[in-house]
Structure 1
Amino acid sequence: MVLETSYFFSLCLTSANPPFGTPWKSDLKTWGDIKKEDISDPRFVVDYAGDSEYSLVPDIGDPQMLFLANNISKMKKSTALGSRIVEVHSGSALFTGKAGSGWSNLRRYIIEQDMLEAIVALPENMFYRAGIGTYLWVVTNKKEARRRGKVQLIDATSMKSPLRKNLGDKSCELTPEINKQILALYLAFDQADEQFSRVFDNAEFGFWAVTIVRPLRLAIEISNANIERLKLEKDGDLYDLMKKAQLIFGEARLLDYDDFIGKITELAGNNNVRMTAKRLKTVRNIFTTVDEKASPVTDKNGNLEIDKALSESEQIPFTYNGGIDAFFEAEIKPYLPDAWIDNSATITGFELSFARYFYMPIVLREASEIISDINTIESNTDGLLASIIGGVK
C-alpha cells in the first residue's frame, strides 16, 4: 500500500497533457505526405482482435488519443511494476467516435487488455486555456491483483478551491487537501464512498453495434405513365415487351415482385427478348415502388434483399443478459417480426459515461414552499403599483 501511494503521487506529478482539438493534418507530412487511412506506423496500427491492421488512429481534428496511443506503445513490460501513464484528456476521449473508429478502437484496446486502472473527473475550468471538463486517465500494464478486470471512476468535479482571481479560463484549483481526498478515494478502491467513486467490471463499457435490417418489399405498376418513362431508355425491345405485359397484367398494383419477374422473364423468352441484368434494373427503377404490403424481394440466390431505408443501428451492452440474441428476441422481434440482424455488420465498441453513474437529479421544491414565497412577495409589494401610478393623471 505504501508503494502504491508513493507511486501514485509520483505519476500524478508527471502527468501528461496532450493537445485538445488541435487538427493534426499537417503531421501527416512526417509520414510521407500520406492520408490518414494510409498510416501503417506500428504505434497506431496494431495486430489485434484478429485484425492485422487494427487502427487506433482518431479523427484528424483531435490528436489527444493519438498522443495516448504513442505513450502506450512505449510502456515497459520487463520491470516489476511495468509502466503507468497519467494523462489529462477532455470528455471527448471518453465517448467520441462510433464503434470501429480509431477512438473506440483505442478504448477497446486499452480496456480489453486490462490497462485502464482509473479515470478521475476533474472540476471544470481547471486549466488556463481549457474552460471545459477534464479527466485524468490512469493507464497501467501491470495492475495489482484487486484491480484486475476492474475500472475505477472517481467523480472529483465538486472538489475544488476557487482562485482569488481567474487566470484566463482557470477559476479553481486542487489544494493539497483536495489531492489527499482524491488519493484516499483511489486507495480505498471498491470500499470508497460511492457518491464519489464507483468500480466496474471492464465489460461495463463494451457494447455491440448491431444493424437491424428488414426485407425490401416492392410493388409493381405497369401504368401508362411508367410506360412513357420507359421511352426515355430508348430500348425498343423492352418497351414492346412491357406494353405486352400491360395487356396481360393490367395496370393494377402487383404485390409480388419475385413472381412478376419470373413471369416477365418467361414472356421475354417467348418473344425472343433477352432479360439482361441492365433490363431487369431498368424495370425495377421505373415500374416499382416500396410498399410495406408487398411480399419480400429475394436475390438470385434466394436470400432476402435488405431495404436500406429501414435499417437501424442499436447498441447492445456486453452486460445485457443473454447478449445479442436475447436483446433481439425481447426488444426487436415483438415489434418488427420480419426483422433480423445483419451479423456481417456487427462491430464491437467501447465508451464511458460519468453522467450515467454520477448524475444527481435536481430535487424540486415542494409546491407549498413555492406558494409561500409567492405570497411573501405579494405582501411585500402590496400598494407598490398604486404608489407608482398614483401621480399619473
Structure 2
Amino acid sequence: MNNQTYNQIVNLIWSIADDCLRDVYVRGKYRDVILPMTVIRRLDSVLEPTKEAVLQMKNALDKAEVVNQTAALCNVAGQSFCNSSPFTLKDLKSRAKQQQLKSDFIAYLDGFSPNVQEILEKFKFRNQIDTMIEADILGAVIEKFISPKINLSPKPVLDDSGNILIPGLDNHSMGVIFEELIRKFNEENNEEAGEHFTPRDVVELMADITFLPVADKIKDAPYLVYDGACGTGGMLTIADERLHQLAGEHNKNITTYLYGQEINPETYAITKADLLIKGEAIQDDNVAYGSTLSNDGFPTYNFDFMLSNPPYGKSWKTDMERLGGKSDISDTRFIVSHNGDPEFKLIPRSSDGQMLFLANKLSKMKHDTELGSRIVEVHNGSSLFTGDAGQGENNLRRYIIENDWLEAIIALPENMFYNTGIATYIWVVTNRKAAHRRGAVQLIDATELKSPLRKNLGNKNCEFTLQIRKQISDILLNFEQNEQSKIFDNKEFGYHKVTVERPLRLSVNLTKEKLEKFSEICEQQKEAAFIPVVNALAERLQYITINDFNFVVKELGKIATELNVKLSAKRLNLVKNSLAQIDKNAKRVIKKIYKVGKIEENPLYGLFKTDIDDKQCIVEYELNSDLRDTEQIPLLLEGGIEKFFKDEVLSFASDAWIDESKTQIGYEISFTKYFYKPVQLRELSEIAADIKALEVETEGLLNEIIGG
C-alpha cells in the first residue's frame, strides 16, 4: 500500500472526528473515541466472514449448557478472539432510538471475548458511550466507520467485475494507520508526536541488521522476539515478517513468538489488538502492561532477538522508587557480577532511564544456544558518553564491551524520527559474534545516507529507501574499513581515570594581628587554655611567618609539654584554620607517619622526634583538594599509567602522586573523533579575487552616498 492510500484512510478517519465530535468533545479528547472505534471496526471487519458460523456454534453451546464457550467460538471464528453477540457494527446503524442503540451497542461490546474486553478497558471506551448517546452522535460515528470508503478489513473491496476498488489492510498497514492517527492527535494536543512509535523505514533497517548477519544460521525451530518498549507493536510485526521472509529464502520452516511490554494504555491496547488479529492464539498473552523497568513482564524468559526504541531523556525516578531507591536496588538486571565485583551497578541517572532498557535485554540473552541472542536498540547520543568512570551508564558500556558483546553502532541521519531532530544511534549487541569480529567494534557513519521526504512528518524530513537500507546493511555485513566504516579494538574506547593528588603546603602567620584574632577564636571555641601555648611559640619565633607547618607543630608540642597543656587534634586544627595559609613555597604538611610493618595509630607519631628514618617510616602528606586533578589515560596507551604519569604529570608537578584507590576504568565512544571531516580552507588567491571583485562592485559608491 502506498503513502497516498495511507493518507486517504487516515484523512477519512480524521474527518469523522471533525464531522461528528466537534461540538461534543474538545479536540484533545477526539482520540478517546476515534482510536478505540478504529480498533473495534478493525476487529469487526476481521470477524465478519465467520459471524454466522459463530452464532450457530453459540446457539449449539447454549443448548448444551456449556459454560466456557470462548475457545470453541474463537476456533470457529478462525481467530484468537471472537464476538458472540448477535450484532455486527453494520447491524447497529439502523437503530433509530438512542436507548435501543445504546443497549444493543453495549451488548455488542459485551459479546467480545475477554482478551478484547481488556483492550476496551485500557481505552476506557465505555466511559464515552453515555456522552455520545446524550449528544445523539453514536449512530453517526458507527455509520461513518462502516462506510465503504473506509476499508479496515484485511480483504480488499471489489467491484462487480472482481477488480480491486480499495485494497485490504494487512497488519503492517493497519499499524501505520494507527500510528499516523496517534501522531496527528498528539500534534493537535502539542504533545510529543512520535513518543510511542518508530518510523517504519527505521524499523525495517533495524530488522535487516538484526537478522541478515545470521540469516544462514536460521534453523527449523521456534524463535522468540521481544520488544520491551513496544508502543503499537510495529517493531514486533515487521521483525516477524522479515524473519519469516529470510527463513523462507533459506528453505526453513520456523515458528515465531512475539513478546512485548508497554506502559501507555492506548498503545498497549493497539498492540494487543494487532497481535490478536495476527491470528496466533498464543500471541495475545505475550504483551505485558506496565513499566518494563519496575515491573518486568517476563522475568524468567530469554529471547533470541530483541529490538526496541526506548524513551530517552525521560525520568525514571518513579521506577527507581518502586525498585527501592537508587542505593537499595537489588534487581539482578541492573546489578550484575563483572570483573570480580559481585555488585557491579548499571544504574544511570534518574533523569534518563534509556540505558536500563538495554540492561534489561542483556539479562534476557540466551547463552546456551548456537545463535545466542541479538539486540538492536535505538538510543540518542548521550548513551555513548554520559556517566563518569564507575557510574551506571559508563559501567553498562564497560560491561558490554569487556564481554565482547558490542558488534556495531550505526549513526543515523538527523530528523529521522517524528518527535525529535537530534542525532540517534542504533546499537547492535550480540553474545555470539562471528569469529572475524571478536575483540572488535564497528562504527558506521550513516548520517548522510538518507532520502528527503516531499513533506515533513513532524520532525521527520527524510527516510531510508530500500536501496539505502541495503547499503547500510552491506556495510555492516562486509566489515571493512572505509570512509563510512571504522573498525576498532574493544580497548580503543576504554580508559583509566586516575586521581592525581598534590600535597597541602602551609605557612603559619604569627604576626600580632593574626594572634589577636586567633585569641578571640579560642575564646569563642572555649579553648582559652591553648592561647598561652601559641603566644609562647610566637615569642620564641619572633612573630614571623614560618613556611614549615610541621616544624610549628613540633614546637607547639614542646611548649604544650612544658606548660602541661594538652595538644589535641582540635587545637591543631584551630592553628591550621586560623593561623595557616596556603603557600606554594612552603614545605609539605605531614598527615601521618607510619612505622614500616606496624601502623602507629597516633596521627602525631614522629612529629616530635628529632629525625625521621626513611627506612623505618612512611610519610603520608595532607592533600590539597584545590589542586586535585583527574586524568583519562587510554587503555591502549603504550607504557600505560606509569609512563603517562611520568611524562605528563611529574614533568610539571614533581610532588604529585596517584591515589590508586580511586582509579576507575571507563568507556566512551566518540563518533566525532573518528569521523570528523575538517572544513577545507579556501586558497588565498580565491579570497583575494573575491575582495577585488567587491572593490570593483562598490567603486564610487561612497562618493554617490556623500554626494547625495
Q: TM-score, normalised by structure 1?
A: 0.93
Counterpart AA for 2:577: N
Matched, 1:325 2:325: no
Judge conservation of contact 2:499–2:663 (CA < 8 Å) in 1: yes
Judge conservation of contact 1:44–1:69 (CA < 8 Å) in 2: yes
Aligned to 1:64: 354
Bigger radius of gyration among the two: 2
Matched, 1:254 2:463: no
Secondary structure of residue in 2 paired with 1:293: coil
Match of 1:297 among 589, 595, 600: 589
Aligned to 2:80: none
Cα distance in 2 between the residues matched to 1:29 and 1:254: 54
Judge conservation of contact 1:22–1:63 (CA < 8 Å) in 2: yes
Secondary structure of residue in 1 paired with 2:336: strand
Match of 1:114 among 387, 401, 404: 404
Counterpart AA for 1:115: W
Cα distance in 2 between the residues matched to 1:12 and 1:149: 32
The Cα of 1:373 is off from its aligned counterpart by 2.5
The Cα of 1:184 is off from its aligned counterpart by 1.4
Match of 2:391 among 101, 105, 130: 101
Match of 1:225 among 483, 499, 513: 513
Counterpart AA for 1:289: Q
Cα distance in 2 between the residues matched to 1:369 and 1:284: 66
Matched, 1:4 2:4: no
Aligned to 2:496: 208
Secondary structure of residue in 2 paired with 1:294: coil
Secondary structure of residue in 1 paired with 2:449: coil
The Cα of 1:382 is off from its aligned counterpart by 4.9
More RCO (CA 8 Å, sep 6+): 1
Judge conservation of contact 2:508–2:580 (CA < 8 Å) in 1: yes
Judge conservation of contact 2:320–2:350 (CA < 8 Å) in 1: no
Stretch of structure 1 that moved more, 199-208 or 176-185: 176-185
Secondary structure of residue in 2 paired with 1:88: strand
* Contiguous gaps of at least 5 residues in structure 1: none
The Cα of 1:368 is off from its aligned counterpart by 1.2
Cα distance in 2 between the residues matched to 1:296 and 1:76: 57
Cα distance in 2 between the residues matched to 1:287 and 1:141: 62
Q: Deviations over 1:142-183 (max 9, x none)?
A: 101000000000001111111111111111111111111111
Counterpart AA for 2:679: I
Stretch of structure 1 that moved more, 88-97 or 15-24: 15-24
Q: Deviations over 1:5-55 (max 9, x none)?
A: 638995997731010101111123432xx3222211110011222222211
Q: Which is helix-richer, 1 or 2? A: 2
The percent identity for this pair of structures is: 48
Secondary structure of residue in 2 paired with 1:165: strand
Judge conservation of contact 1:11–1:86 (CA < 8 Å) in 2: no
Cα pair distance change 1:212/1:12, threshold 3 Å: farther
Q: Deviations over 1:167-226 (max 9, x none)?
A: 11111111111111111111111x34x210010000000000001111111101122222
Cα distance in 2 between the residues matched to 1:225 and 1:344: 42
Matched, 1:27 2:319: yes
The Cα of 1:330 is off from its aligned counterpart by 1.2
Aligned to 1:375: 692
Q: Deviations over 1:273-323 (max 9, x none)?
A: 000111111111111111111111112323122111111110000011011
Matched, 1:140 2:430: yes
Aligned to 2:662: 345
Judge conservation of contact 2:498–2:631 (CA < 8 Å) in 1: yes
Secondary structure of residue in 1 paired with 2:577: helix
Q: How many residues align?
A: 386
* Contiguous gaps of at least 5 residues in structure 2: 1-210, 218-237, 243-305, 594-618
The Cα of 1:124 is off from its aligned counterpart by 0.7
Counterpart AA for 2:408: A
Judge conservation of contact 1:214–1:338 (CA < 8 Å) in 2: yes
Judge conservation of contact 1:12–1:86 (CA < 8 Å) in 2: no
Secondary structure of residue in 1 paired with 2:441: strand
Alignment of 1:234-249 (within 5 A): 234=523, 235-249=527-541
Aligned to 2:344: 54
Counterpart AA for 1:314: E
Aligned to 2:103: none
RMSD of the TM alignment (CA)?
Answer: 2.1
Cα pair distance change 1:374/1:286, threshold 3 Å: same
Cα pair distance change 1:157/1:245, threshold 3 Å: same
Cα distance in 1 between the residues matched to 2:382 and 2:529: 59
Counterpart AA for 2:213: E
Q: Deviations over 1:227-249 (max 9, x none)?
A: 22222222221111111111111
Alignment of 1:59-98 (within 5 A): 59-98=349-388
Counterpart AA for 2:508: I
Cα pair distance change 1:11/1:50, threshold 3 Å: farther
Stretch of structure 1 that moved more, 319-328 or 224-233: 224-233
Counterpart AA for 1:216: L
Secondary structure of residue in 1 paired with 2:545: coil
Matched, 1:153 2:443: yes
Secondary structure of residue in 1 paired with 2:631: strand
Judge conservation of contact 1:209–1:349 (CA < 8 Å) in 2: yes
Q: Deviations over 1:111-153 (max 9, x none)?
A: 0000000000011111001110100000001101000000000
Matched, 1:45 2:335: yes
Cα pair distance change 1:70/1:273, threshold 3 Å: same
Match of 1:17 among 278, 293, 309: 309
Secondary structure of residue in 1 paired with 2:620: coil
Judge conservation of contact 1:11–1:85 (CA < 8 Å) in 2: no
Secondary structure of residue in 2 paired with 1:15: strand
Cα pair distance change 1:177/1:253, threshold 3 Å: same
Aligned to 1:364: 681
Judge conservation of contact 2:450–2:465 (CA < 8 Å) in 1: yes
